[in-house]
Structure 1
Amino acid sequence: MATIRHEFYETDEKLTLSIFDKGADPEQVKITFEPRKFTYVNGEKSLVLEPLKGQIDPAKSDYTVGKVKVEVRFAKMAQGRWGALVGDSPDPLASAPVSAAPASPAPRRPRKNWDGITNEILESEKPVSPDEDPNAGGDAAVNEFFKKLYADADEDTRRAMMKSFQESGGTTLSTNWEEVKKSKVEVKPPEGSEWKKWAV
C-alpha cells in the first residue's frame, strides 16, 4: 500500500491534518479514530498514525473529503502543542521539554507578549501623549484623555472642569474647584490668537 502525502497544523485545542488524496470518493474513504491511533484507507492508499503524539477524543474528531485533499480535525484531550503527529509520549504536555519545546512555548509566548505590549503602549499613551503634545493623537486621543480624567475625578473636580470649560468658551479646563468657584473663568485663547464673540 502506498503512503499518502500529508501535512498538519495545530492549535492548543485541535490538530488539523491534510491528506492529499486528489479526487477521493467519500463513499470509498474509510477513517478510524482511536484515542492514540488514526487510520485512513482509500483503495490501495493508506495512512496509519500510531501512536499519536497525544490523546484525541474520537467522538469530537471529524473529517471532510474535498476535491484535492481530505481534511481531518483531531480534538485534543489535553491542551497544548504536540510538535509532531506521532511519538511515544502518553501526555503531550509532559513531553514538552524533550520534543515539543520549540513548538510549544514559542508560538504561545509572543502572542501573549504582543497583546501585553500593545495594551501597555495604549495604556501609557492615553494619559501621556495629550499632556506632552495636545495634537499628538488628534482630537480622538485628547477626547479620550479628558473622558478618562472626568470619569476618574471626584465631584468637586468634575464641577471645576465643567464650570471652567463652559465659562471660558472651551479655552480653559481647571480641576481646582476652590479656585474656580470664586469667580467667572476668563477666556484664554491660545498664544497668538484673538478671542472674538460672534454676533447672533
Structure 2
Amino acid sequence: MTTTLRYEFYETDAKLTLSVFDKGADPEKVSIKFGPRSVVYAHEDKVLTVEPLKGQIDPEKSDYSVGKVKVEIRLVKMAHGRWGSLVGESPDPLSTFAKPAAPPAEAPAQPRKQRKNWDVLTDEILKAEKSASMDEDPNVGGDNSVNEFFQKIFADADEDTKRAMMKSYQESGGTTLSTNWDEVKKAKVEVKPPEGSEWKKWAV
C-alpha cells in the first residue's frame, strides 16, 4: 500500500466509505480507479493506493464525491458483511463471508389421483334417462316416473348426498342408489341385480 495522504474509513455490511483528506482538491483533477480488490486515488502529485482490499467490491456501483476538506470514496461490497480492516490477504475475496445456503431440493411432485367428476356423470345419467322412450323403459313418463323421482331427490340433496348418489349409481351399474356418502366413499359399490336375476357385463 502506497500513500502520501491521510485517510480513515468506516463500514456497514453493504458498503465501506474511505475518506481521503485532501483539502481543496480540484474535482476536475481528481482521478479514482476502482478494481475488484483495489482503489487508487490520484490528485496532481498526491497518490493513495489501497490494495489488496480485505474483500471484493463492485467497481461499477462504487463512486466518490469531492468536498472542500476531504474526498469520500464509497466502496460497494460484493458480499455483505464486516471486513474489520481495510486491507488483507485472502485466497478467495468472498471466502470470509457466509454464503446463503442453497434451498433444499423440492421433492418431485406426486401424480395426483384423478377424481371422478360426479356432477358430469349426473348430467350424463339424467340426459340418458330423458332420452329413453316409453318403448325402451316403461317407467319413463308420468308424474311418478323414476326419472322425475331421481331428479327431485338430486335437486334437494346436499353435495355429499349428490356424490353418494352418483358414485353408487355409476359403480353398481344402476342397480343401487345410495345417499350415504360416508358409507359409499369407503369402497366401490357392488352390483346388486334384482332378486331372481343375474348380472352380466356386455362386451362393447
Q: Please tell me whether Structure 1 or Structure 2 has the larger radius of gyration of its CA atoms.
A: 2
Coarse TM-score class (shorter-chain normalised): 0.3 to 0.5
TM-score (normalised: structure 1): 0.45
TM-score (normalised: structure 2): 0.45
